[in-house]
């Protein structure tokens, strides 16, 4: 009968232990990028820097992360008002959207996305003056919101101020170089702007 000693037990346990430690180390090492990635999704400046350098495919994911980040007010009830306003816009009910988003801007005046969303609702209702005022407020609170800048460009173009619209679209392109609507707007306005420069 073989005598059980600590050395015999360790010789059996050691390979199992070694494999387990290796597996845990691998899990930890592969999890670090995921943890870092989720932390980065909350770091606005890191996302904006990555967006400016991203290719078109990467830019789509970064855009979604930024939109999620900017859509967080810090209050579940305010987030619900934002969602209700957006849902009303999806249903082409600008009046209901304005009502929800006005409640949002009244209760959370420092939340840039509320002003930006209401500007879009006003634009759909063809209330361009209030839309412009809301975009100015949104950009004062979040000057990096390229969608608000694009909205400003669209309003300026609607007013016939193509030079300033072009500048707004250029500013949006500097933040989000791969935004398709910005590229189209710049291509559309460029001939008139370059013609003026001659």
The top-level CATH class assigned to 44-197 is mainly alpha
Cα-based distances in Å from 39 to 32, 35, 42, 52, 78: 10, 6, 6, 19, 23
**Confidence check: pLDDT of 11 > 90:** no
User: What residues have CB less than 8 Å from 119, skipping those under 6 apart?
Assistant: 130, 131, 132, 134, 135, 138, 148, 151
pLDDT of residue 163: 96
Over residues 1-11, the mean pLDDT reads 42
- The number of C-alpha atoms within 13 Å of 163 and in the hemisphere containing its C-beta is 4
pLDDT in tens, 127-166: 999 999 999 999 999 999 999 999 999 999 999 999 999 9
The number of beta carbons lying within 10 Å of the beta carbon of residue 153 is: 27
pLDDT of residue 194: 80
pLDDT of residue 129: 95
pLDDT in tens, 25-34: 333 333 333 3
Specify the DSSP class assigned to residue 190. H
Q: Which residue has the higher pLDDT, 34 or 44?
A: 44
Distance CA 69, CA 137 (A): 19
pLDDT of residue 136: 97
Domain residue spans of the chain: 44-197
pLDDT in tens, 87-115: 999 999 999 999 999 999 999 999 999 99
- The answer to whether 111 and 144 are in contact (CB under 8 A) is no
Q: What is the pTM for the complete model shown?
A: 0.76
């Amino acid at each position: 009968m073989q005598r059980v000693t600590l050395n015999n037990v360790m010789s059996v346990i050691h390979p199992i232990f070694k494999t387990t430690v290796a597996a845990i180390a691998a899990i930890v090492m592969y999890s670090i990028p995921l943890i870092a990635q989720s932390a980065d999704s909350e770091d606005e400046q890191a996302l904006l820097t990555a967006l400016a350098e991203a290719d078109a495919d990467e830019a789509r994911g970064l855009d979604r992360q930024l939109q999620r980040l900017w859509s967080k007010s810090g209050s579940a009830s305010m987030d619900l008002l934002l969602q209700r306003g957006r849902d009303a816009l999806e249903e082409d009910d600008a009046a209901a959207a304005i009502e929800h988003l006005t409640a949002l801007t009244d209760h959370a005046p420092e939340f840039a996305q509320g002003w930006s969303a209401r500007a879009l609702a006003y634009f759909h209702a063809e209330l361009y003056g209030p839309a412009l005022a809301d975009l100015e407020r949104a950009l004062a609170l979040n000057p990096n919101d390229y969608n608000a800048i694009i909205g400003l460009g669209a309003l300026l173009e609607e007013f016939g101020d193509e030079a300033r619209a072009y500048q707004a679209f250029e500013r949006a392109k500097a933040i989000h170089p791969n935004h398709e609507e910005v590229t189209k707007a710049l291509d559309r306005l460029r001939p008139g702007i370059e013609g003026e420069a001659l």
